[in-house]
Structure 1
Amino acid sequence: MVLKAVLFDFNGVIIKDEAIHRSLIDELLLGENLTPQGRQFWQVSVGRSDRACLKELLKLRGRFVTDEYLDKLIAKKAIAYRQKLEQLEALPIYPDVVQFIEQMYNSQYKLAIVTGAIGSEVELVVKQAKIGMFFDTIVSGDEISQSKPDPEGYLLAIERLNKIYPDLHLLPSECLAIEDTFAGIEAVKAAGIQAVAIAHTYPFHMLQRRANWTVDTFADLELDRLNDFFGGAKSGDEQLA
């Protein structure tokens, strides 16, 4: 077993924008004459796609909407998201993430983003952050039918990488995925991929038992130790602390 690809979640891993998403979801709910509920947001939204989030939040309030209506809400949120980012002096990119991405790229790993965010939001950020050239593919929330914790997005990323590189013969066991939420970690492990949890959204101790590795920051994610794990084909889980 060798490490061939590193797969990144987006919100909460590359960009610190959960608070922005929460405020925009709240605004959408208010526009539907519904009162936002903070606890429900964390229960049904974090780590999931906008579509899954809005559908569940509306359902909990007795609203059952069509896919076409959800499309309109999501498009409205996407416009507001762009406007929010344009108002910021600098993108809230996590410290050390760009350096880590560059390190993985220079080490010849194939890189992908797998996210529930819609493609236009991801493209906006990677363009402004000047990191788009490092990724071979981006699987966004508007390209999949099932949100995390379903593994569909991760399996699609592997499929795409194998199409881009026919000689790669990439297997899930040869991938590493970096996530920050419970739903994301579940999706990674359901796909048969090794999971790194980064304590951006939840405390270290809440993630530690769910992932193969847990770190506080990208600076703590040591490439040599990862290579030792994959090269040595150890069994069981190990924690990077």
Structure 2
Amino acid sequence: MFDSVIFDMDGVLVETEEFYFERRMKFFKEKKLLPASSKIEDYLGKTEKGIWETLVTDISTRNLLYKEYASYREDYPINYPDVLQQDVEAILCRLKEKEIKLAIASSSPYIEIQRMIQSCQLENYFDLVMSGAELKESKPNPQIYLNTWQQLATENPIAVEDSMVGIASAKAAGIYTLALKQKFFVDQSKADKQIFSLNELLSFF
């Protein structure tokens, strides 16, 4: 019997992956530079540090561009309510009614996770929020899931992920993992089960 859910954020609760990818590509185009990879799947589930290591191989160039991009993205912020997955609040509400503990375990910075929660008015649903950006190693390392599970103090959680590194992280922590199908190709074969909408999560409780 499952007693808790640990959600990834980007690509699961909010459909941000395409927005972030297109914003980075637009930045590079305006700089008249080519990123090391132009494939969205190479960036899924990674921390900001991991993303920029993939974008730019040269360290000094990477550091310089990242500083410029930090300012650039402030001019093009994401509006989280616009990309909130369908029925998220209703699903979270149903789970809380069943006394299921809920957490977020995301590679995004903690301040960004909180911005999403507040702007989408989801403050009353999550028992715990964990950011991989604050750990020495984030996904696919299992530490973020191990820490979240330990702090939730539950016996049998489900993880909901979308990316290959996120699935690997949850599975390495010994957690039953659902993979939310994406519009673009992502290898989700290591997940325990693939779901096509978050509404399917309710059938596990």
1:125 to 104, 116, 135: 116
In structure 1, the residue matched to 2:162 is 180
In structure 1, the residue matched to 2:74 is 79
Greater Rg by CA:
1
Instruction: Specify the code of the residue in structure 1 equivalent to 2:195.
Output: V
Instruction: Specify the code of the residue in structure 2 equivalent to 1:51.
Output: K
* SS at 2:158 equivalent: strand
User: Any conservation in 1 of the 2:170–2:176 contact (CA below 8 Å)?
Assistant: yes
Deviation at 1:56, TM superposition (A): 2.5
Structure 1 residues 111 and 71, CA gap change in structure 2 (3 angstroms): farther
Q: State yes or no: 1:153 paired with 2:136.
A: no
Deviation at 1:67, TM superposition (A): 10
Paired with 1:133 and 1:74, the residues of 2 have a C-alpha distance of: 33
Q: Which digits, 9 at most, give the CA deviation of each residue in 1:97-151, with x for residues without a partner?
A: 2211111111111111011111222211211111122101111232122121111
* SS at 2:2 equivalent: coil
More helix by share: 1
Instruction: Specify the code of the residue in structure 2 equivalent to 1:214.
Output: Q
User: Any conservation in 2 of the 1:25–1:77 contact (CA below 8 Å)?
Assistant: no
Q: State yes or no: 1:218 paired with 2:202.
A: no
In structure 2, the residue matched to 1:51 is 49
Q: State yes or no: 1:103 paired with 2:90.
A: no
Matches within 5 A, 1:7-22: 7-22=6-21
Paired with 1:74 and 1:118, the residues of 2 have a C-alpha distance of: 16
CA RMSD of aligned residues (A): 2.8
Q: TM-score, normalised by structure 2?
A: 0.85
Q: Please, which runs of 5 or more residues in structure 1 have no aligned partner?
A: 163-169, 228-241
Q: Which digits, 9 at most, give the CA deviation of each residue in 1:39-96, with x for residues without a partner?
A: 44422x111111111123212xxx1149976874674466345x3428xxx5211112
User: Any conservation in 2 of the 1:7–1:112 contact (CA below 8 Å)?
Assistant: yes
Q: Please, which runs of 5 or more residues in structure 2 have no aligned partner?
A: none
Paired with 2:145 and 2:137, the residues of 1 have a C-alpha distance of: 11
Q: Which moved more, 1:123-132 or 1:90-99?
A: 90-99
Matches within 5 A, 1:162-241: 162=153, 170-171=154-155, 174-202=156-184, 206-207=187-188, 209-223=189-203, 226-227=204-205
Q: Which has the higher contact order (CA 8 A, sep 6+)?
A: 2
